[in-house]
Each structure stands twice: as structure tokens, then as C-alpha cells.
Chain A
Amino acid sequence: MTELAAPPTAGPGPSALSSRKGHGETTRRSRSGWSQRRDRRGLWFVLPFTTAFVLFMVVPLFYAIDESLYTSKLIGGTQFSGFANYRAVFSSGQFWSGVVHVAIFGAVQIPLMLAVAFFFAVIFDLGVVKLAGLWRTIMFIPFAVPAVVAAVMWQFLLEPTFGPFVHLANSLGFSSTNFFSPNLIWPTIFVIVIWEWTGYTMIIFYTALKAVPRDVVEAAVIDGTPLRKIITRVKLPMVRSAAVMLVLLNTIGALQMFVEPQILAEFQPQAISSYFTPTIYIYNTGVAGQQYNLAAAAAVVLALVIVAISIGLMVFRVRKGGGL
């Protein structure tokens, strides 16, 4: 996942989610009431955010769109080229192979990570673990490690010559294991990403579970519902909107995956191709190839792909959310 996609959610994420979870309907109602009583003084509170948003999101977005309509060549200079860059991106096998790779990656990694995180969240929520706070914190720590540091650390752990995991694999009979070989590079990134994000995901689920009203659970218990069913039939549906939000954030994160492979490429250049993920393709096109315009077009196309997926998930969430 990239730094870009997820961290902004770190702040508003859990709180916003939990408020929505517990009182889904009330939140929606009170929100519309609030908007009617809107006070202009409120604008001052959003000014810092709006300024940063316009400067660092809106302006670069339009700059990228503008850049994408030109072609600048080493020989021949800069010319308006209309949609030529977009045609190049749409016909670029490299760009789309990256999109397919991260899509497959996300399709495997996200459900698995959500399942594992939910499992641990339920265990902590049941209150059967001693020193739960300590264990939760330990599980959360990987998220506090910057992705760059995590990638460097895992590179050394999995290093083919002296990495401890390679020695472990060898002693288990898997001789000359190379975690950075073409067949294992995606599973390797899979492990890094799972390590980084499971604790964070677990905390969001945990917070959402804490917001499930006690009386609902008590009612289920009095009815004699077995624990397994309380978890799958009572609690899980009530944290579904949190799950959908996590799917959305993680999907965007997967599509924008950059930090982990880019850092690994510093150490294992033959393992990471120049078009490994869409963002790595964009980076190499812009920086190594100096084809800023083509890179800008590819970035716009990737943004559109992300917008399309996000809208799809939002629609899904609104429909399902209505049934809560």
C-alpha cells in the first residue's frame, strides 16, 4: 500500500467508522440537520484543510491533466498532442499488466487480511485474552513502522545469501530458496503488506465491534444463540460498513502500490520490473524516461480506474448499508 492511500484515513478512519457503525441511521439524520444550521464561521475551521487540499490535490490534478495533453521530445521540443498520450497508455501492455497484477494481488490479499484481522478483533472483543491491551498494541506496531523501513527490514530478513528466513527454508528442505525470484516476488510483497496492515485493520474492526450495542448481544445470548452465530449473524453484519470501507481503502492502496516494490527494487533490481505496478510504470516513465507527459496521462488513467472502482464500492455500500 502506498503512503498516499492509507495514512490520511488513519486519523478519521476509526472514529468516523465507529460513529457510523453504532448509530448508522442517527448519524445520517443528524448530519443533514447540521447542514441546515450551517454557520459561516465553520468555514474558518475547514480553511487549513481546504488550502492544503487545493494546493496539493486539485492543482496537481489539473496540472497533470494539462501535461497529459502535450508531448515533449528530446528532439523536436514540446507540442500539443491531444489524446495521443492516452492512446499510448491504453495500448500499453506494460501499464495494463501492472494494473492486472495489483488487481489480482488485491483480490487475494484484501479478503485474507480482512478475515485474519476480523478473527483477531473478535477474540479481543470477547475479552478472553489476558493482557489484551498489550497484544493489541504489539499487533498494531507494524503499522507504526513506515513502509520504507518495513520493506528494507523484510529485504534483509528474506535476503537470498544471509537472510534468516532463507536459512530456515533451507533447513526445512527447500534448498536455494529465493524469495525475490519471479515466482515468489508477489507472495513476498503479500507477506510484507499483510504484516504492515493487519494490525491496523484489526483495530478498526475492534473499534467497530466495541460499538455494537450490548443489548443486541445480550438479547441474542438470552435467545440461546450459540457464540459462533452471534459472531457471524449478529456482529459481522453490524460491522459490514466498516468492512466495505476497509475493502475500498485497501483496493485503492493496492492499485497505488509503490513503496514496497520500489524499495525492494533498490536491493533486488532484477525482481522488480520497470512496470511492476501501475505507479512504478508511471514513476519510471516520468523519471527515468523523462516522458512526463506520458506519465501524466498514465496517472490520470489510473486515477479514473480508482474512481470507477471506488464508485462501484460506494454504490455497493449504500445499497447494503440501507439494509443495516
Chain B
Amino acid sequence: MTKRNLRDRRSAGLRRYKAGAGAIAALAAATAGLAAPGTASAATVANAGKSSCSPSATKLTFWAWVPGISRAVAAFNASHPSICVTLSDVGAGDPEYVKLAQAAKAGTGEPDVAEVEYDELPSFEITHSVINLAPYGANKVKNDFVPWVWQEVSSGSAVYAMPGDTGPMATYYNSKLFAKYGLKPPTTWAQFASEAATLHKDDPSAYMTNFSATDLQWVMALMDQYGAWPFKYTGGSNLTINWTGPKQMAFANYWQKLLAAHDVNATTDVSTTSFSDMDKGIDALWLSSAWGPSYFAPDAKLTVGNWRAAPLPQWSAGQDVAANWGGSSYPVFSQTKHPKQAAEFATWLNATMASWNITKTAPSSLFPSFKPLLQSPSFTSITVPLSGSSHPYTVFAKAAAKATFEDWPPIMTEALTQSATVFAGVMNGKETLPAAFKSFQNTLVKYAKSEGFKVTT
């Protein structure tokens, strides 16, 4: 399995991900006889999906980039002879959203169903590019999903997508390194900060973790855990953007203090750099998502078996607040001629054990929000080589149940694009995080106003 095959779930990570080792992995994939997604795979995968179709079947197109999801499509086609789903991988994250937005503008060319990350879904809702699935019985499976995930895809009784995988967060730490320096998995952020200082003092080449200011979704997931979520949007023209409130500034100041003291490593995450730093014992832990271990695994050589999962540190001792970082949903697009069949496919793909039994396995390795699987002991007791005999998914599954709804604004594509620019100064020490939050606030407010929103700050 190559890293390239694991690309998915979040566009920002992917950008960096390609950054690090994408091309090398793609080469490896090519030499290993695996089609690199985005190159030859679209055609191959499409054929795989088509193979079992009868000529009279209703034809649906499906865009997704999760590696190995063609297996689920083939299984659907086999068990639903009247529907024929053809899969295309048109790019992971951004490249796909660009094509979707352009197809919406052109009035033709949308797929029937596509993979869309939770943070991007509101951008497609506001342009009426996706349809309400409630008339097709979507609410029947509502109780099969973790409530906050259902909230991500619904608005009142309207359902704009089927929720797919998620990325509940945990502290993924190098237990050998922790033992060497007498550290304990931090239960509070105060402890996290003091241990970070201790570790860096004991070993100036080591850091508690890396802080990737340019990884907007990751930063926002941590902000969410602190109760400093910077957006409020409930549809319509009112949008609250608040990166400069007291909570947001307190969050920025907490990390700025660690950055200024060099107690954390200012490197991009989900990159070859961060993975190599983790494997070399430079970064002692990763504030990771449930999909993190499968991304890290191909880069880990020296520390395989050392990695343990623990709940995220808490802002107040004794609390148990979780956060989510990443994950995708599966909306049906408004240009579809077969909304009923498209909804049926999206529902089957995300709300049946038949589908999850395929997508939970490598190379897809999706982490479910689908309760029957999430709560099944056979899932939570999975072991991975990185974590030796421990059961990291138990921790992630607990976080999945406790994570909270993240209120994404319909301007995330712009926010993600600008974040790389605005936060670059924090990475090279030329700007502080609170200053970057302020300039990000200005950038987003200006953009939202130019798009006609009534902006509250």
C-alpha cells in the first residue's frame, strides 16, 4: 500500500501530502503495478465498476477518490442489477471541487453522486448544487449515525448528503520516547505545555509535537475543541466570522507561546517532514485523526510498534471534549436525472454493513460514523503494526462519539486557499499566530462581503 493510495479525506492535508511523497509514491505504485489514482486509474476503475452491469440498468456516475472504493461500487452493481454506477476519480479534494463548481456553472457535467468533505458541503448547498435526500427516505438511516455527523449533512429535516467517514482526533504518541523522558500522555493542555518545555530542555533536538499553522482544518479542529470555533452559519445571507474574539485570541496565544519558545516544531503536518520527524524521535506526539495512523504507517520504520493513542488533552481538568478533523460526505447533485437511484446508491454506500465491510479495509481504511460498525468490538479491537498490540481505534471511536458539530461556512474553498498564504509567516517565524488570525479575519470578512453576505464579527 502506498501513501498515494491513502490520499483522501481532506484537501489541505492532501496538498501537503502530495507535497511530501505523492510523486514518489505514485512512481512506486506504478512500478508495483498499481494504477496511480488520477492517472490511469479512472479508466481502470470505471471498467471495474461497469463489469457487472446489464444494458438496461439506470446509469449513474460517481466521483470519489478514496482508494479501493471501486470494490464497493462493484459490490453495489452486483447486488443492484437495475442500477449501474460508474466510478471516476477526477482528483482528490480541490481538483474535484473545481470541476464540480464549473459543471454547476456550466449547467451540465455534474456526476450523480460525488465525494465531498464536510467542510465543503455548505458551499454546494448554497449554490443549490446538491438535492435534499429526505424525500428519498434519507432520514430513515439518521439514527444509524453519530448525531454530530448527521448535523453536518442536514439542516432541520432536510438532508443534503449521506455522511461517510470521519476523523475523530486523539493524541498519538511515541510511548518509548515518552518513557525515556519520563513523560505521561498529557491530560490537560497546561500539562501539554509544561511537558513540551521539559522535553525540549532535556533534548533540544526534540519537540512535543509539530504545529502546522497553514493546515487550516487541523487548526480549526483544535479551535473547536477549545470552544473557539470561528464561524456561525445557518443558511441564508448572514455569516458570522470571528477569528479575533477573546476565545480565539486565547487559543492563538497559547500556541504562540509554545512557538516562540520553540517548544513545538513549526513544520507542516501530514508531510514527509513531519512523518520523518515522528519516526526519528524528533516529534514525540501527533495531534492526529483516526485516519492518521494509516497515513503515517508507510513512513514509519524505526518506531513501528511504539505508537499509542490517548484522548486529546483537555482545557479544564476532568473534561472530556473531543474534536473531529476531516471526513467526507456523499451528496446527490441537482443535475441528476435519476435522484431516486442516486440516493439509493449514496445510502447503500454509507449506511450498510455490506459497504462498510469493504471500505473499512485497506486500501480504503475509512473510519466510520456509522454506529453499527463504530460500536462493534470487532472494529474497535483492530490492531495496527504501528501501535503494536494496543487498540488505538478504541480511543478514536470514543472521540467519534463525543466530537461536536463543526459549523462550516459556505466559503471554505477561499478560506483554505488563503490560509496557506496568510499563515505562511507563522511557519517561518515572521509573524505571530494572533497577528495571522487578525489578518485572516480581514481577508475572510472582505471576501464574504464581496460575495454579498451580511457579515457579523
Contact = CB atoms under 8 A, between A and B. Distances in A.
Interface of A: 73-76, 152, 156, 159-162, 181-182, 265-275, 284, 287-292
Contact of B421 (A162, A273, A290): A273
The 8 closest A-B pairs by CB, nearest first: A75-B452, A73-B452, A288-B417, A76-B452, A270-B424, A273-B421, A267-B19, A269-B420
Task: Specify which of A162, A284, A288, A292 lies most central, judged by the most chain B CB atoms within 10 Å of its CB.
Answer: A288
Given A74-B127, A274-B417, 4 more contacts: A74-B411, A267-B20, A270-B428, A273-B420
B302 interface: no
A162 B271 CA distance: 13
Contacts of A265: 420
Contacts of B382: none
Interface residues of B, number: 38
Interface string B408-422: 001101101110110
Contact of B420 (A76, A156, A181, A274): A274
A283 to B, nearest CB: 10
Contact of A274 (B24, B411, B421): B421
Given A152-B23, A270-B268, A284 B417 contact: yes
B127 A273 contact: no
B427 A270 contact: yes
B397 to A, nearest CB: 32
Contact of B452 (A74, A160, A267, A268): A74
Nearest to A276: B421
B450 interface: yes
B432 to A, nearest CB: 16
A271 B272 contact: no
19 contacts: A74-B451, A76-B452, A156-B24, A159-B272, A161-B276, A181-B428, A182-B430, A266-B19, A269-B16, A269-B420, A270-B423, A272-B420, A273-B420, A274-B420, A287-B98, A288-B94, A288-B416, A288-B417, A289-B447
Interface string B89-110: 0000010001001000100000
B237 interface: yes
B200 interface: no
A290 B273 contact: no
The dominant DSSP class at the A interface is loop
B18 interface: yes
Contacts of B430: 182
Contacts of B18: 266-267
Given A266-B15, A270-B268, A156 B23 contact: yes
A75 B448 CA distance: 10
A76 B126 CA distance: 12
B288 interface: no
A158 B328 CA distance: 34
Interface in B2-35: 15-16, 18-20, 23-24
A182 B127 contact: no
A74 B453 contact: yes
B19 A268 contact: yes
A269 B452 contact: no
B410 A74 contact: yes
B365 interface: no
Contacts of B127: 74
A289 B428 CA distance: 26
A162 B23 CA distance: 14
Given A161-B273, A182-B428, A291-B450, A74 B420 contact: no
Nearest to A181: B428
B214 interface: yes
A289 B417 contact: yes
Contacts of A152: 23
A266 B91 CA distance: 13
B417 A273 contact: no
Contacts of B272: 159, 161-162
Contacts of A269: 15-16, 19, 214, 268, 420
A270 B417 contact: no
A161 B410 CA distance: 36
Nearest to A156: B23
Contacts of B451: 73-75, 291
B19 A290 contact: no
A291 B276 CA distance: 39
A290 B101 contact: yes
A288 B15 contact: no
Contacts of B94: 288
Contacts of B423: 270
Contacts of B19: 266-269
A274 B273 contact: no
Contacts of B413: 288-290
A34 B101 CA distance: 51
